[in-house]
Every structure is written in C-alpha cells, then in structure tokens.
Amino acid sequence: MTKKFDVTRHVLVPKHEIMSKEEVKALLKRYGIRKEDLPWIRLTDPVVKAIGAKRGDVIRIIRESPTAGKTVYYRVVVG
C-alpha cells in the first residue's frame, strides 16, 4: 500500500487558507476591487486539492521569509 504525500506539510509550500465570505468581502472593499481582479490559482493545483477549495473560493497564502518577514497573497480558485 502506498502512502499519500501531504503537499501542505512540505517545507517549501507556504500556508494556504480558504477565506470566509466575510473576510473576502472585507478584502475586496479594502482594496476597492472585484473578486475577478484577484490573481488566479487553478482548481487542479495540488494544494487547492489538499485543502478542499472549490471554484470561486479565495485563498490566503502566507509566506514566511527570513529577510522579508511575513507576506500575504490572495488568489481566487478558477477551473
């Protein structure tokens, strides 16, 4: 039997979170944009599959760096 690899636990994969509807609404209002204006992440992305995101969800990606500190990115899941 083969063990499944958990991509979310790999050292090079930053933390991915599905945002709530309220968080998305606040994000879009804060930046004065529409959901369609966000960069895309594909439904076939291994991390998207691992966290159970669906088309239209907004993902918060938190990257940690020794030089830049913590940076946050947002992506909308597309098909």
pLDDT (tens place) for every residue of the chain, 79 residues total: 666 788 888 888 999 999 999 999 999 999 999 999 999 999 999 999 999 999 999 999 999 988 989 999 999 999 9
Average pLDDT across the chain, whole number: 93
The predicted structure's pLDDT at residue 1: 60
Q: Which CATH architecture has domain 13-78?
A: Alpha-Beta Complex (3.90)
Domain boundaries, the chain: 13-78
Distance CA 23, CA 43 (A): 20
Torsion of CA 37, 61, 26, 40, to 10 degrees: 20
pLDDT of residue 2: 65
What are the Cα distances from residue 19, in Å, to 3, 11, 57? 29, 22, 7
The model carries a pTM of 0.88
- Let me know: does 69 contact 63? Beta carbons within 8 Å: no
